[in-house]
Structure 1
Amino acid sequence: MSPIEVQELASGVTAVSLKENVLRVQPLQRNHFLDTLYKYSKVQPHIGTEFEKGIQIRDILNSPDSEKLLLDLAVLIAERNVVFLRDQDVTFQEQKQFVDRLGRAAGKPATSGLHTHPITDQSSEFGEKAFVISSELNKKFESAYGSGGTYGTKSELHAWQWHSDVTFEPIPSDYAALKIREAPAEGGDTLWASAYEVYDRLSPAFQKFLEGLTATHVGEGFLNLQRAGIATINPGPRGAPEDVGTNLTAVHPVIRTNPVTGWKGVFANKIFTKRINELSKDESDFVLEHLFQLATLNHDLHVRFRWNKNDVAVWDNRSSFHAATADFDAEVYTRLGERAASLGERPYFDANSKSRREALGIAPPVARRAHLAALAAAVTGSKSEEQK
């Protein structure tokens, strides 16, 4: 039984109809074969894992036990949102193969391949399946739209850059990998945030409220580039049969179940998510802003990565958000890399899935605050507001 029903709107946008009761897909389990070969550690409690030097993507791809290793990695990335691998001697062809095989190890549909970005330069040396991360390209876009906002909307709040990759596609990305070939001597870090933990920061009543809602995602910035004559939208298919057309618009559940972990996460991001469909505009704006603030203002659900040349980050777009830090002088330094993105399944919500904290037996944030308040009261002999 499928966890979603799909219907076509008159506009041609694919909508998601959520079911109350669905057959739960069992989460995947690590076989821990990876642990016998490589060492790694958590960067932050909720998000981020970094491998010690010695691991090479090429070795994993060529190993006779590659399927076991890729399954372990796929689950680890889904659980920890993002993993970091330093000093990788890997070609872009191998990088593409790596993310595609991660998705296949995790059970993505056979029709989902590698994403072709809607404004990819097909004459690039890396081919149409690459999205080049380039400070030089950013300057080109800023010359047309101005800097500091979503392609021309002036803002000093760089939190507008938080996003999950290509959520404007009906079939968005599951795994993505970025290799930085040239890093500035200072700055240019990337941050990731856990969508699992954002969900866990919501009250139970608000969680239930959101679980019945859908949101519209639009690649508005890329459409603006086409309108300005800077780029042309590739009509597709862009890596999956469903990812076609030039309106770059899709409808997804606000709360999404990651099929690898079986955990719930907030699936709404600052760049692409434009409105919650079942609410009025004012209500939608209010709710989305609250979700965005939970994701961007809680630094304890973030991890920040300082890039060196040839470092690779691999993340799960289903359950995380990320944003680059444009704090370096682009006239002095260059930041250059290539991202490959695998396409996964159509996003869905499974009513039987769990939150990350529930699945791992971790106390909810509110309960933990009450526990800390009780400890403080025991020390000071006074009662906190939460105890009164």
Structure 2
Amino acid sequence: MQKYLEGLEALHSAHVQADGSNALGRTVRRKPVVTKHPLIRLNPVTGWKSVFFNPGFVTAIVGIPKAESNTIINYLNELTSTTQENHVRFQWQKNDVAFWDNRVCNHSASYGFAPHRRHAVRVASTAERPVLDPTGRSQEEEINARYGLLEVIKDGSGLANYND
């Protein structure tokens, strides 16, 4: 799946978010746009490949049938929302500040703060255009090489050493 996703691009749309804000009578702070990005991108700081997917924004995978696109989107939605190893839950305290890298992280507000009101100020810098460098490595590949661990076979050959 990782190798398959590397060759795909996704459409990211801000229209759903803007339409939801409009429906609730809230302010839409910027004109919604649709952009096309690689589904797997290279982080220019770490050099690691990662999935570039946000469940609230990806509407289609470019160049494949709609049914296949929807299946991949549903799979990635499930993966990003339920895989606990991919989550951090921040327990806010007074004067806390949280930083994350939008190139490799998604933000999702959780509920359960009643009777308090959720209020945050978000600052986002303009980043580079997402690209995939086919010679880039994943974090897993770099750690395996650094510590002399077996390289995970991901070429679809049917041989598997994952979790061995």
| TM-score calculated relative to the size of structure 1 | 0.36
User: Contact 1:223–1:233 (CA<8 Å) still a contact in 2?
Assistant: no
1:369 deviation in Å? 2.8
1:216 is matched with which residue?
A: 11
The unaligned stretches of length 5 or more in structure 2 are: 153-159
8 Å CA contact retained: 2:49, 2:136 = yes
SS in 1 for 2:67: helix
1:349 matched to 2:126? The reply is no
Residue of structure 1 aligned with 2:57, choices 251, 260, 272: 272
The answer as to 2:123 corresponding to 1:340 is yes
Cross-structure match for 1:157: none
1:28-107 → structure 2 map (5 Å cutoff): none
Equivalent in the alignment of 1:316: 101
How has the CA–CA distance of structure 1 residues 301 and 210 changed in structure 2, closer, same or farther, with 3 Å as cutoff? same
Matched residue of 2:113: which SS? coil
Q: State how 1:1-388 maps to structure 2 within 5 Å.
A: 206-220=1-15, 221-226=17-22, 230-232=26-28, 234=30, 246-329=31-114, 332-361=115-144, 364=152, 367=161, 369-370=163-164
Separation of aligned partners in 1, 2:78 and 2:20? 26
8 Å CA contact 1:217–1:274 kept in 2: the answer is yes
Change (3 A) 1:315 1:359: same
- Across the two proteins, how many residue pairs are aligned to each other? 152
* CA distance in structure 2 between the partners assigned to 1:224 and 1:324 by the alignment: 15
Alpha-carbon distance between aligned partners in 2 of 1:271 and 1:360, rounded to the nearest angstrom: 31
Q: Is the 8 A contact 1:257 1:348 kept in 2?
A: yes
Question: Alpha-carbon deviation of 1:270?
Answer: 0.7
Aligned mates of 2:32, 2:120 — CA distance in 1 = 27
Which deviations, in whole Å up to 9, do the C-alpha atoms of 1:183-232 show, x marking residues without a partner? xxxxxxxxxxxxxxxxxxxxxxx222111111111112214434776435
Normalized per residue, the structure richer in strand is 1
The alignment-based identity, stated in percent, is 38
Counterpart Cα distance in 2 of 1:219 and 1:283: 22
- Cα gap change, 1:232 to 1:288, in 2 (>3 Å): closer
Change (3 A) 1:247 1:297: closer
How much is the aligned-residue C-alpha RMSD, in angstroms? Answer: 2.3
Deviations along 1:119-174, one digit per CA (max 9) or x if unpaired, are xxxxxxxxxxxxxxxxxxxxxxxxxxxxxxxxxxxxxxxxxxxxxxxxxxxxxxxx
Secondary structure of the 2:88 match is: strand
Q: Quick one: higher RCO (CA 8 Å, sep 6+), 1 or 2? A: 1
Which whole-Å CA distance do the structure 1 matches of 2:131 and 2:123 have between them? 23
Rg (Cα) greater in structure: 1
Please tell me the residue identity of whatever aligns with 2:14: G
Instruction: Indicate if the aligned counterparts of 2:60 and 2:69 stay in contact, CA closer than 8 A.
Output: yes
Distance 2:70 2:116 in 1: 37
Unaligned runs of 5+ in 1: 1-205, 235-245, 371-388
- Residues 325-344 of structure 1, C-alpha deviations (whole Å, 9 max, x = no match): 11232xx2123221111111
Partners of 1:227 and 1:349 lie apart in 2 by 36
Contact 1:226–1:233 (CA<8 Å) still a contact in 2?
A: no
